[in-house]
Amino acid sequence: MNTQPRDSINWDSLDTVKFADEDESVIHLAERTGLNADAQARIQTAAVKLVQRARSSSRNRGLMESFLQEFGLSNREGLALMCLAEALLRVPDAATADRLIAEKISGGDWVGHAGKSESWLVNASTLGLMMTGGLIEIDPEARKNPSLYLRKMTQKLGEPVIRAAVMQAMRIMGEQFVLGRTIKEAIKRGRKAGSTLCSFDMLGEGARSAADAARYQQRYLDAIAVVGAARGKGPIEQVHGVSVKISALHPRFHAVQRERVMAEVYPLLLEQARAAKAQDISLCFDAEESDRLVLSLQLFDRLAREPELDGWGGLGLAVQAYQKRAPQVIERVIALGRATGRRLLVRLVKGAYWDTEIKLAHQMGWPDFPVWTTKPATDLNFLGCARAMLAAPDAIYGQFATHNAHSLCAVRELAEQAGVESYEFQRLHGMGEALYLAADEAYGESAVRVYAPVGSHEDLLPYLVRRLLENGANTSFVHSFLDPDVPAEDVASGPFGSRTPSARHPSIATPMELYGEERANSAGIDLSQSAVRTRIARAVEALDAAGPIISAPLIGGIARLGGAARAGQELPVTSPVDRSRIVGTVLEATTEDIDAAFELAVAAQRIWDARGGKVRGAILRQMADALEADGDRFLALMAREAGKTLADGVAELREAADFCRYYAAQAEREFDAPVRLPGPAGETNHLGLKGRGVFVCISPWNFPLAIFTGQLAAALAAGNAVIAKPAEQTPLIAHEAARLFFEAGLPVDVLHILPGRGESVGASLTNDPRTAGVAFTGSTDVARMINRSLAARDCAIGPLIAETGGLNAMFVDTTALREQVVDDATLSAFGSAGQRCSALRILLVPEDNADATIKALAGAMDELAIGDPADPATDIGPVIDGEAREILLRHMERMEAQGTVIRHLDSGIWGETGCYFGPALVELPSVDLLEREVFGPILHVIRYKRNQLHDIAAALASKGYGLTLGIHSRLESFHREIQAAVPAGNVYVNRSMTGAVVGVQPFGGEGLSGTGPKAGGPHYLHRFAGERCVTVNIAAQGGDPELLNLS
């Protein structure tokens, strides 16, 4: 292999424009196309003629166009079809299939669609969905009440007949979007289609296990061999090729796993490239999510420099025009081609993951989106990239993928201007045929390659739904291409003139403005960027070099260090990663410290409360800013002291900032001035919120920054003074956070930090009559002790706000997508080493497909990386201490006797010096074997039969917990059934069960899982406050001015 790159290209530098400001960047897009007004006019005229010509020959329209024209995605029928197509064919049991059909179809007006489409395939699908399986006459009763008619038909025909009809309708649709179930079948069908060129794509989701990856690799190698054997004569650009999805070749194809990917994925790609070279066919790497772009290009670069591939002109990749980085990618690919003497194949596409990229940017708090937010911007970027590609025919063979008449005509114009004839267009199988036949009639036959999916109906489902979403949007060209109600001029209009974008989409909030004017979103840290990972590594090195941190009682802003009275109370703080590493020292609070803290806090509270919500809110906002500014240091400290992985640390840092801004906004809105209430003339009534006094906040070690900060921020926002006792295991993080509070402007007498043990310092604080209330997060047993302690005092009754643990379950049925279940269960059960109160503890899977689900889950577990949490590649760090590890070991001993251990990962060398416990998967016969949560990475899986579901749900509910609940199903009735049977404060449907977002998913349980109200929710702050209502008889002063001044 070549190890000395020629004219090395810095692909990582692409990240500098990943989140380019759209408002600034979009103004240059039209200029980059190089198309003047005359050229734009020619393109527009030609595009209108193409649309008109295509419409006049409706026989050539594909099923996608016909489907979208008839149903679209804006009505109940279109959405029902999409849901059925996504889920039905993978359902193994008849009962669930019947239930899914009934739920999704019963509310649709299928009669209104029957026979209306010009496509017999759409009509056949519709008739199948009308539940007869054959041609029928429309019953008048069906027109009046389709739902009632359907129920009667169900009773008449029977569910098996209906199921067979709908299955057949789904298969009719599916067969039109895949060229074949196998590559041989696809080649055979391709031959029947005449001279159509294809790039064959092996359908399927990304790999979740090594077995998945090996299976996909073999499928690709088989495809290369079959396509090569069927190769016709001619240059490589004129024969079939194969497309590769790199994420199918490795379950950990992520930027943070770069070293592993380069070591394990690159040999697979090289093997494919060798095979493709031997067959003299092309091999194109598909484009995927934006976070994988740089890593994909680094792999591509390495292949392009392989001497043993010299002389082969079939290496290609796809570039997404909706990514802001696309022009820079094209520029570097051209440089790569010239540096290596290769002519590289570049498939320019608009992009298929737009909605995912928008959602992810919102969730992750990126500074901007990596993609354009408007279709005109993407279209202009497409043309700008096309121009650059056509200007470099020595380095790039252009492949332009579009179903848009304007884009097609614009590429032809650009090619003519560049004097380039060697290029091709591409379209998806089942789409765009009418457009390209019209183009051939208008301009003569041109090179058009079909992107042809190959695979089973089950493999097709995610692909089909993605294509429907991509092309079913009302702004999509395909959606209205053949719709006669939409003028051809409108359909063919390009991204120039009045449609030229001057700014981002007005209806899509930027990630930082997601929550409107009231508060900013917390800033994310993009670990997929090499520069960011390097920066954090330096922060870890700086923390290690700085030496131990000292956490001492912080009273009045002064750390109480040393003194004879502290003899024996100084303890080392060691890292759970390596118990021989001393991170710092903690000095436990004494009785004198506790009394001093109360004296200062009581004296300061009224002054702090009187300053009002706006002043307090401003300080909390400054605290949020300070946390983000010092974020790298906190990531390093959380990794060292708490064993937090960097990804978990980023999430916790953001949560802490979100708490500050959320409670700041609420303080400004609700705690600044009393609210006037309605009442009779002659008096005024005002209700105001006031701080209760001194709140004691006792925070846990599993969220040493977020929960510590959140408790303090809430109590402070409500006007209370605070005495905080951080967890014994993580006092250093609390000390550093308190330092930031003071730097943000918090008066030093309002907040005091008293580190120490719960049985001494914690007990003294909760017993003290000066405590106005307690906020606690921890175990149910300790919460009960605090509750009794508060009740036993001979003083005012103070509130306890407790968030405790849960025996959290996820219910899965057979409609759920297995890959999604595996992803979400793995993250929910093993993320943070299972040390979240919200973590998944029990996975309930239907017996019909339990074997496959358990096997897939075990395979995914094998890919988890156990190691140093400061390493970005680490998935699983240590548990918090030796005691926690021993509890887990004892539990596993019991599980080995009562159940079956499916998988228990070895922590390897990390377990020799650190507190590591490898993730475990245990199958149990009954939920009755679990009485309480076990705090660590152990997932218990239980199979169920449909008739057992009610009893299992009742047994789980009877245990008294109610924190989080997961449900994976495409059946809304299943969602409702489980929610009604199992109480939970937070219910997550078809997603992971952890990572509640402040203000979006207020967090907290019921029953044994907490007192409420929910943290990060609209009612939380009120529990920290007292209410005062003031009534004034203004008539006693001579009358009601408002009443007397009425005209």
pLDDT digits (tens, 9 = 90+) for 282-310: 999 999 999 999 999 999 999 999 999 99
In a domain, 521, yes or no: no
pLDDT at 1028 over 90: yes
134-168 as b/e, with b when 16 or more CB fall inside 10 Å? eeeeeeeebeeebeebbeebbeeeebeebbebbbb
Q: Which two tokens stand for residue 207?
A: 């790999």
Give yes or no: residues 143 and 181 share one domain: no
The one-letter amino acid code at 173 reads M
Q: In the block, which residue shows the tokens 């920290």? A: 1024
Any catalytic annotation for residue 803? yes
937-958 as b/e, with b when 16 or more CB fall inside 10 Å? bbbbbbbbeeebbeebbeebbe
Give yes or no: residues 866 and 769 share one domain: no
- Cis previous bond, 327, omega within 30: no
pLDDT at 129 over 50: no
In a domain, 15, yes or no: yes
In a domain, 941, yes or no: yes
In a domain, 511, yes or no: no
Question: Rounded to whole angstroms, how far apart are CA atoms 794 and 775?
Answer: 20
pLDDT at 317 over 90: yes
Give yes or no: residues 78 and 56 share one domain: no
Domain boundary among 113, 148, 175: 175
pLDDT at 469 over 60: no
Rg (CA), the chain: 32
Give yes or no: residues 936 and 960 share one domain: yes
Q: Which residue has the higher pLDDT, 923 or 147?
A: 923
The predicted model gives 729-758 an average pLDDT of 98
> Of how many residues is the chain composed?
1047
pLDDT at 333 over 50: yes
Please name the residues in contact with 864: beta carbons below 8 A apart, sequence gap of 6 or more.
826, 830, 875, 876, 905, 919
Give yes or no: residues 129 and 180 share one domain: no
Please name the residues in contact with 806: beta carbons below 8 A apart, sequence gap of 6 or more.
837, 838, 841, 933, 961, 962, 963, 964, 984, 1005, 1008, 1009
Question: Rounded to whole angstroms, how far apart are CA atoms 394 and 334?
Answer: 9
Q: Which of 300, 210, 303, 292 is nearest to 256 (CA)?
A: 292
pLDDT at 97 over 70: yes
In a domain, 1022, yes or no: no
Q: What share of the chain in percent tops pLDDT 70?
A: 86
Domain boundary among 803, 824, 839: 803
In a domain, 522, yes or no: no
Domain boundary among 160, 175, 190: 175
Q: Which of 290, 289, 314 is nearest to 304 (CA)?
A: 314
Question: How many helices and strands, by DSSP H and E, does the chain display?
Answer: 40, 28
- Lowest-pLDDT choice from 302-316, 487-501, 1032-1046: 1032-1046
Q: State the CATH number of the domain containing residue 919.
A: 3.40.309.10
pLDDT at 381 over 90: yes
Give yes or no: residues 343 and 245 share one domain: yes
Per-residue pLDDT at 63: 53
Give yes or no: residues 81 and 116 share one domain: yes
Q: Residue 115's CB: how many other CB atoms inside 10 A? A: 11
Q: State the CATH number of the domain containing residue 284.
A: 3.20.20.220
Q: State the CATH number of the domain containing residue 563.
A: 3.40.605.10
pLDDT digit string, tens, across residues 33-75: 999 999 999 999 999 999 999 888 755 555 555 555 555 544 5
pLDDT at 253 over 70: yes
In a domain, 582, yes or no: yes
Give yes or no: residues 55 and 86 share one domain: no
Q: Which of 306, 318, 296, 311 is nearest to 343 (CA)?
A: 311
End-to-end CA distance of the chain: 93
Give yes or no: residues 855 and 972 share one domain: yes
The predicted model gives 153-170 an average pLDDT of 60
Question: Rounded to whole angstroms, how far apart are CA atoms 853 and 860?
Answer: 11
Give yes or no: residues 766 and 892 share one domain: no
Whether the Cβ atoms of residue 927 and residue 951 lie closer than 8 Å to each other? no
- Lowest-pLDDT choice from 184-193, 360-369, 616-625: 184-193
CA–CA distance from 920 to each of 206, 861, 893 (Å)?
A: 23, 8, 12
Q: In the block, which residue shows the tokens 């609390």? A: 734
Question: Rounded to whole angstroms, how far apart are CA atoms 782 and 513?
Answer: 40
Any catalytic annotation for residue 837? yes
pLDDT at 132 over 60: no
For 291, which DSSP code?
A: G
- pTM for the complete prediction? 0.92
Out of 205, 433, 803, 977, the active site residue is 803
Give residue 171's pLDDT band: very low, low, confident or very high (50, 70, 90). low
Give yes or no: residues 253 and 114 share one domain: no
In 305-369, alpha helices (H): 326-340, 354-364
Task: Indicate the average pLDDT of the chain.
Answer: 89
pLDDT digit string, tens, across residues 662-678: 999 999 999 999 999 99
Per-residue pLDDT at 131: 36
pLDDT at 437 over 50: yes
Domain that holds residue 644: 530-803
Q: Which two tokens stand for residue 533?
A: 């990972």
Out of 284, 385, 697, 837, the active site residue is 837
Q: Which residue has the higher pLDDT, 479 or 89?
A: 89
In a domain, 795, yes or no: yes
Dihedral sign for Cα atoms in the order 358, 362, 364, 365: positive
Total domains present in the chain = 4
Q: Which two tokens stand for residue 837?
A: 């109160």
- Lowest-pLDDT choice from 36-50, 451-465, 530-544: 451-465
Q: In the block, which residue shows the tokens 């590591």? A: 916
Per-residue pLDDT at 109: 53
Q: Which two tokens stand for residue 903?
A: 């998988």
pLDDT digit string, tens, across residues 358-379: 999 999 999 999 999 999 999 9
Give yes or no: residues 584 and 719 share one domain: yes
Per-residue pLDDT at 268: 98
Whether the Cβ atoms of residue 227 and residue 241 lie closer than 8 Å to each other? yes
For 230, which DSSP code?
A: T
Q: Which residue has the higher pLDDT, 65 or 706?
A: 706
Question: Rounded to whole angstroms, how far apart are CA atoms 154 and 152?
Answer: 5
